[in-house]
């Protein structure tokens, strides 16, 4: 099963990044998509994965001033090519839920903030792909 993990930014190791670590353990072959990636600020477990940043990563001072680029993040997410992934996990409480998942993929959104109403929101863009059983 091809798995993609979507996370807003990888610039430190706080609560959301601990969730990413757990997902990395569960899905050791998963690719990680993010807006901003600062390798030296995340754990070895996360760095072991293929990490694909959006164009925001290459904007001036993105590593420190990434929040100033919030208005561009929905557009950056729409540009992600997620074809070929069976399971897409959005782990965060904001813009990553706006990805455009392929019609044959299952999209699971995990809201990680205390202010999230439900804690976990599961959405699918289609029925589970043939042979998909989860892990």
pLDDT confidence of residue 48: 95
User: pLDDT digits over 80-125, tens only?
Assistant: 999 999 999 988 766 666 788 898 999 888 876 554 444 444 444 4
| Residues pairing with 53 in the sheet | 34
Beta carbons of 63 and 39 less than 8 angstroms apart: no
Q: Which residues contact 43 (CB under 8 A, 6 or more apart)?
A: 13, 17, 21
Domain residue limits, the chain: 3-124
Query: Rg for the chain (alpha carbons), in Å?
Result: 14
Query: CB–CB of 88/99 below 8 Å?
Result: yes
Q: Report the predicted TM-score, pTM, of the whole model to 2 decimal places.
A: 0.81
pLDDT, tens digit, 9 for 90 and up, residues 2-55: 999 999 889 888 878 888 999 999 999 999 999 999 999 999 999 999 999 999
Would the pLDDT of 65 be above 70?
yes
Q: Answer with the residue of higher pLDDT: 99 or 126.
A: 99
- 33 burial via Cβ count (<10 Å: 0-12, 13-18, 19+): buried
Query: What confidence score (pLDDT) does residue 14 get?
Result: 83
How many other C-beta atoms are found inside a 10 Å radius of the C-beta of residue 106?
Answer: 22
* Cα distance between residue 90 and residue 107, in whole Å: 7
Residue by residue, DSSP assigns 36-56 as EE-GGGS-HHHHTS-EEE-GG
């Amino acid at each position: 099963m091809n798995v993609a993990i979507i996370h807003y930014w990888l610039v430190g190791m706080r609560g959301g990044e601990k969730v990413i670590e757990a997902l990395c353990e569960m899905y050791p072959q998963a690719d990680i998509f993010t807006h901003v990636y600062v390798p030296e600020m995340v754990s070895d477990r996360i760095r072991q994965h293929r990490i694909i940043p959006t164009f925001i990563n290459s904007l001036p001072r993105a590593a420190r001033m990434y929040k100033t680029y919030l208005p561009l993040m929905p557009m950056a997410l729409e540009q992600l090519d997620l074809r070929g992934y069976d399971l897409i996990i959005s782990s965060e409480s904001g813009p990553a839920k706006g990805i455009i998942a392929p019609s044959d993929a299952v999209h699971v959104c995990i809201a990680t903030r205390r202010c999230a109403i439900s804690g976990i929101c599961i959405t699918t863009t289609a029925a589970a792909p043939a042979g998909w059983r989860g892990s």
